[in-house]
Structure 1
């Protein structure tokens, strides 16, 4: 099979790695150690021309094609078995324009790199809660982070995308040039092409914010979680909070008596006027009798990177997630009981309070949806590779099943390999139908299917919607 890629090599500046070559084993690994796939080749793209060559090569030969940017996806969608992987991690350009408050970012960039550049000028856009997450995959799937209540989803600050289409054509996509495709890219993930660069609006944030956790022993968790769920809908947009049930690590600010024990941590960030932080965060910080309150002035970049040590690559990971309408007494009891029975000290349960600007943005503004959800639940189960997965996966599924009655949908970035129905739930039937019609125009053969896949509408349904397969700018012979 290696010989099959000899004709690709002269078309690229980047290296084409096959299984027999040095470096392949290291390069093929993705963040989730549970995913062990062996692509036939990995093209380490060093520019958009390499992406063009890779897409055209895969289409010509009918190869399975996967696209890796940050590689942080829990489902391992940045790799494939027996096909071609476009590895975009070398695309590391970040350009900040303080005058227009715009950023242009290549798609190998992680949030740590982006924030390093933007925060030098006191600017930011909506990023993840870890600095190692890739900018591109996070944004194209919607993007929920510390700035979401103030500025919406990451895709709401997206202004244009440089895309390589299934026809092997480079295309600049924005709201004026290709409105339907731009709508689909903001939440529809990698279904419509390979993004090589993204342009964002920037916002004045930092470099210093008010942030940190308030930590409670588990015996207080029921009352504190109930108070948190009641308080967060009334928070100002500048405040964001994530309630985390976890095993306390052996690090500050967790007090020594609680280390190794299940705890509740109310993490929060205030990005408004520092003088208003105490009053704004008081409803959260006044709950219960905390073992420690570590909220205070911190560098925004430090907060963004604070969870990185606990989510390094290589461990086994299994997630289940939902948007929730809220938390009732039974749900809180279920959460606390599950935390008391963690199967691994690396696991946690995150509950992110939504609302604010996210909820005020019209539902039809982008493919990303479920803007009316109150809480984003993510059950993150993580264990050592030597352990059997049975207990860990069983614990996760049991907890998710108990809470699913409160579900209003699911966040596509947190989906595992869960089937077509869950993908439809991520968008709702009407949005999914529109996405399928746009997919039928831009990728009728479903070349880009190693993702949370949106099936192209049938020829009949696409024609009924007035859409024909796009050959715009297709490469000439």
Structure 2
């Protein structure tokens, strides 16, 4: 246990997002499931506000709470891969970088996030976007079973046959159901090398590129997961210094199969959208792909993100995006358009709590900055851009990109859609006294 008098207190309460400055009463650093059971028992006895920390990378900072108990799973790092059954069992403190390192020994993956420092737990419980989701689905779609400590202190193994409602809710329902201590994932063959596109286009061609990109995504095979960023060129050593911080349109795509002629042909439409500023396309190790963005979003800087799901990216929506992109408050801020469909849409809409299977796009408005004096301006930009994009939205919001705790109440319907009622019934069945409810209100 770490309390406010402990010399490691500030380190224990820090999370990835430097905007979050919460001061819990106690941090319970768990090394295994038995420690989690004890922490939940203490929470039942004393009824503090409870939050659960896995990787601590969620933008809303829901891993920590003020004046309550943090059940910290970040030390639970066990991973076991069975290449014969193509499964992996991973504890809840594992990051995607940890998991990829173990599965890639066998040329296998489970679809994970776009930053290797992200924890597997929070991302998977919220659904789980990734670079190959159109080929292999969301992270939650690969979950075979999970172990969870519920509010009554029981350790439950849940899957489609055992506790099916809890299994349903844990795949896309976010937090507040209990403390997930481990996941069993199904694995897919991919790697060690993957083929991808990364093309930077001049900003003066932004509208033309966006329209061409949109049209190309409609025809993209499920083996290709396209993505587009409106950003400033990062200070990457692979990029000429004279381009650093120059505004651009970045087009990325990953092929969910072996590199070769098939990958080249499938990716070609994403690579041919106009005269490039810089073309960095090619093959690279899967673990390098997964880690490529980590340094671009360093620990301790300040972040605020809000998102919309969209059925279409109309010309008017494109112009609105570009209008708000032109007002970005810092070079670190960006707008990301991700594509769904393919394997994501193959899953029955009611198979899991993730409520946005039919969406074609997710638009994420990501403010990033370093100076605390910029807090108000950066957050205001992201909120205003999000409001401006509302007319083009399907009404849905991704739980992992849903703003801060104060945004949670107004967004619950948008996050969980038609699944909200069933999700609340499941929460009430497993946590009738609301032991985990405060954490659930910080999506």
Q: TM-score, normalised by structure 2?
A: 0.96
Where do 4+ consecutive residues of structure 1 move more than 3 Å? Answer: 252-257, 450-455
Distance in 1 separating the partners of 2:190 and 2:87 = 14
Q: Aligned pair in 2 of structure 1 residues 212, 253: CA closer, same or farther (>3 Å)?
A: farther
Partner of 2:426: 438
Partner of 1:276: 262
Match of 1:99 among 64, 69, 84: 84
Distance in 1 separating the partners of 2:326 and 2:243 = 13
Q: What is the deviation of 1:196? A: 0.5
Counterparts of 1:137-286 in structure 2, within 5 Å, are 137-274=122-259, 275-286=261-272
Q: What is the deviation of 1:244? A: 0.6
2:117 maps to 1:128: no
Counterparts of 1:16-415 in structure 2, within 5 Å, are 16-274=1-259, 275-408=261-394, 409-415=396-402
Distance in 1 separating the partners of 2:440 and 2:71 = 17
Partner of 1:6: none
Distance in 2 separating the partners of 1:171 and 1:277 = 42
Which of structures 1 and 2 has the larger relative contact order (alpha carbons within 8 angstroms, sep 6+)? Answer: 2
Q: What is the deviation of 1:126? A: 1.0
SS at structure 1 position matched to 2:175? helix
Contact 1:423 1:452 (C-alpha < 8 Å) held by counterparts: no
2:408 maps to 1:419: yes
SS at structure 1 position matched to 2:88? strand
Question: Could you tell which deviates more after superposition, 147-156 or 114-123?
Answer: 147-156
Distance in 1 separating the partners of 2:434 and 2:236 = 47
Q: What is the deviation of 1:291? A: 1.2
Contact 2:192 2:285 (C-alpha < 8 Å) held by counterparts: yes
Contact 1:353 1:374 (C-alpha < 8 Å) held by counterparts: yes
Contact 1:211 1:297 (C-alpha < 8 Å) held by counterparts: yes
Contact 1:439 1:454 (C-alpha < 8 Å) held by counterparts: no
Aligned pair count? 439
Q: What is the deviation of 1:201? A: 0.2
Question: Could you tell which deviates more after superposition, 96-105 or 379-388?
Answer: 379-388
Contact 1:216 1:263 (C-alpha < 8 Å) held by counterparts: yes
Q: Aligned pair in 2 of structure 1 residues 325, 253: CA closer, same or farther (>3 Å)?
A: farther
Contact 2:40 2:151 (C-alpha < 8 Å) held by counterparts: yes
Counterparts of 1:442-457 in structure 2, within 5 Å, are 442-453=430-441
Q: CA RMSD in A?
A: 1.4
Structure 1, residues 90-124: CA drift from partner, whole Å, max 9, x if none? 10000000000000000000000000000011000
Q: Aligned pair in 2 of structure 1 residues 60, 452: CA closer, same or farther (>3 Å)?
A: closer
Q: What is the deviation of 1:292? A: 1.4
Distance in 2 separating the partners of 1:383 and 1:186 = 32
Contact 1:255 1:292 (C-alpha < 8 Å) held by counterparts: no
Q: Aligned pair in 2 of structure 1 residues 450, 156: CA closer, same or farther (>3 Å)?
A: same
Structure 1, residues 276-333: CA drift from partner, whole Å, max 9, x if none? 1121111111111011111101000001000011111111111111111221112212
Structure 1, residues 13-47: CA drift from partner, whole Å, max 9, x if none? xxx01101110111111111111111111011011
Distance in 2 separating the partners of 1:444 and 1:121 = 43
Distance in 1 separating the partners of 2:202 and 2:237 = 15
Q: What is the deviation of 1:454? A: 9.9
Contact 1:33 1:385 (C-alpha < 8 Å) held by counterparts: no
Contact 1:326 1:374 (C-alpha < 8 Å) held by counterparts: yes
Contact 2:193 2:258 (C-alpha < 8 Å) held by counterparts: no
Contact 1:65 1:86 (C-alpha < 8 Å) held by counterparts: yes
SS at structure 2 position matched to 1:43? strand
Structure 2: gaps (5+ residues):
none
Distance in 2 separating the partners of 1:215 and 1:406 = 26
Distance in 2 separating the partners of 1:250 and 1:155 = 33
Distance in 1 separating the partners of 2:440 and 2:75 = 24
Q: What is the deviation of 1:257? A: 3.8
